């Protein structure tokens, strides 16, 4: 990845670590000898995985290879990276992508006020600073990508490049070198190669297709809506004081709602919010008295008037599964 502008008077090129997928650091390999050990660590970090996602994350950690997670909103893409960092007991470095994001925000910027101050102070001492003196690491503002590459260890950081589909094509192409080689080139400094290459998790909501070239560099995993029992387990993690019958009812109701032609089908996040609301209101089951609460709290789950009307028209019996409408 080449970024920034200006002359390159003194490139200091650190040795390149070379081989991609050289295997994880011994400490990481020892902590996660197999997929089950990672499932256990993620579980302890309150993240519930199915075997498919666990395998993808295990390979991302152990090969290592960046993993691209796609899935409907709220299925746990972002949380997967956060949980991985907790499981590894390592920092999460997050780059939130948006339209127009560029290298200065993602990688590094020169600290111009500091450079200016250094020039002024030198002038006050009747000295003159050479350009080389001003383009050193002391004057770098590290943005997330550089911070992740320069993480001092002992374990690699987890780098989350979140919602890459929101960034422009050019920015996506700009991440290629980083993904393939855990290195970036800063014209004034040379190539910065990670001593502890970060574990990279990319997410996309598929508002546009990502480049094939990017996908080639990544493992790919589609996170589906969890099966109802797994969904109930996730909800119980997030709302520990919720009643089990309520979580089972709510997750089943959400599955039924997704079968309707909704503008915005609810994800796990909305299910969690709904159960939290009902628990706060003291509701132990969806059809518990007063039963209207199941309907009046639907704003936790559905976020448009049309969707609300569609589900309300189905009635409480449909929502609780006691009748078919
Ligand atoms: N497997 C899971 N285990 C534990 N919590 C989960 C799981 N999946 C989702 N969640 C919870 O659901 C919520 C939504 O997850 P998250 O923000 O990761 O979704 P997302 O896929 O990134 O959504 P979006 O596309 O809207 O960004 C979070 O509160 C998260 O903790
Ligand atoms: Mg997200």
Alpha carbon distance 170, 309 (integer Å): 42
259 belongs to a structural domain: yes
Kindly give the number of the ligand 1 atom that is closest to the alpha carbon of 69.
Answer: 21
CA of residue 135 to ligand 2 center, whole Å = 36
φ/ψ of residue 162, rounded to 5: -90, 135
pTM for this entry? 0.87
Residues 161, 97 within the same domain: yes
Ligand 1 pocket list (CB less than 6 A): 46-48, 71, 73-79, 205, 234, 237, 268-269, 272
Residues 307, 246 within the same domain: yes
Residues 218, 242 within the same domain: no
Q: Quick one: which ligand is closest to 81's CA?
A: 1
Residue nearest (by alpha carbon) to ligand 1 atom 20: 74
253 belongs to a structural domain: yes
CA of residue 274 to ligand 1 center, whole Å = 14
CA of residue 64 to ligand 2 center, whole Å = 22
DSSP for 212-237, written as a single string: HHHHHHSEEEEEPPPPHHHHHHHHHH
92 belongs to a structural domain: yes
**Rg from Cα positions in the chain:** 24
120 belongs to a structural domain: no
Residues 170, 304 within the same domain: no
- Of 32, 25, 90, which Cα lies nearest the Cα of 58? 32
CA of residue 71 to ligand 1 center, whole Å = 10
Domain enclosing residue 290, as ranges: 228-320
Alpha carbon distance 92, 117 (integer Å): 33
Residues 171, 95 within the same domain: yes
pLDDT in tens, 219-261: 999 999 999 899 999 999 999 999 999 999 999 999 999 999 9
pLDDT in tens, 156-215: 999 999 999 999 999 998 888 788 888 888 888 899 999 999 999 999 999 999 999 999
């Amino acid at each position: 990845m080449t970024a920034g502008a200006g002359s390159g008077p003194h490139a200091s090129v650190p040795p390149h670590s070379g081989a991609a997928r050289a295997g994880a650091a011994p400490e990481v390999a020892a902590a996660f000898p197999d997929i089950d050990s990672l499932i256990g660590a993620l579980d302890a970090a309150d993240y519930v995985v199915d075997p498919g996602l666990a395998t993808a994350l295990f390979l991302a950690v152990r090969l290592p290879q960046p993993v691209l997670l796609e899935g409907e909103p709220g299925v746990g893409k972002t949380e997967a990276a956060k949980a991985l960092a907790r499981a590894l007991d390592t920092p999460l470095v997050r780059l939130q992508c948006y339209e127009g994001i560029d290298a200065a925000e993602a990688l590094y910027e020169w600290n111009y006020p500091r450079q200016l101050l250094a020039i002024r102070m030198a002038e006050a001492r009747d000295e003159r600073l050479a350009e080389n003196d001003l383009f050193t690491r002391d004057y770098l503002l590290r943005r997330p990508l550089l911070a992740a590459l320069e993480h001092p260890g002992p374990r690699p950081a987890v780098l989350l490049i979140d919602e890459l589909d929101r960034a422009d094509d050019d920015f996506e192409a700009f991440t290629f070198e980083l993904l393939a080689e855990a290195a970036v080139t800063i014209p004034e400094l040379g190539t910065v190669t990670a001593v502890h290459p970060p574990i990279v998790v990319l997410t996309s909501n598929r508002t546009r297709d990502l480049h094939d070239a990017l996908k080639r560099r990544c493992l790919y995993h589609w996170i589906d809506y969890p099966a109802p029992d797994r969904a109930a387990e996730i909800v119980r993690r997030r709302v520990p004081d919720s009643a089990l019958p309520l979580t089972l009812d709510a997750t089943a109701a959400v599955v039924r709602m997704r079968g309707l032609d909704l503008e915005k089908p609810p994800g796990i996040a909305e299910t969690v919010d709904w159960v939290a609301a009902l628990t706060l209101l003291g509701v132990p089951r969806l059809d518990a008295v007063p039963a209207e609460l199941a309907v009046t709290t639907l704003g936790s789950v559905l976020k448009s008037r049309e969707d609300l009307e569609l589900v309300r028209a189905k009635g409480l019996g449909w929502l609780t599964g006691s009748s078919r409408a």
